Amino acid sequence: MGRRGPYICGIDAGMDVVAGKWKSLILWELNNYGTRRFGELRRGLPGVSEKMLVQQLREMEEDGLVHREIYREVPPRVEYSLTPDGTSLNEALGALGTWGQQRVERLAAEGILVEVSPTA
């Protein structure tokens, strides 16, 4: 979870909530699909361990970014989606995504960057 302040500025507070190896990617994934099951998220994020996925999702839930809907069925079904706060955070990260994309292209053009994952 976030430190919950005191923060030096808004960027500080924003970064605090997105810090965590998978959080920005979870945001991106949930924003693209609207609603995703735990297993779908796991398969969509190459390299995540189950432990980390649960952990990051729980923290994001506590931070009010994602909504968790449990369906009491067998086998169990749990669906994750973005809250309004999560959606707006994702929008706020849009510019950073564009910047990163351009950087990747620039580095690739200079032959510095080896490759980009096909998902990009």
Residues that bind a second copy (CB under 8 A): 4-19, 24-25, 27-28, 45-46, 85, 88-89, 91-104, 107, 112-117, 119-120
22-57 burial, b if ≥16 CB within 10 A, otherwise e? bbbbbbbbbbeeeebebeebbebbeebeeeebeebb
* CA dihedral sign of residues 14, 30, 84, 72: negative
Least Å distance, CB 109 to DNA, is 27
The residue ranges that bind DNA (CB under 7 A) are: 19-21, 37-39, 47-52, 54, 56, 58, 68, 74-78
Least Å distance, CB 20 to DNA, is 4
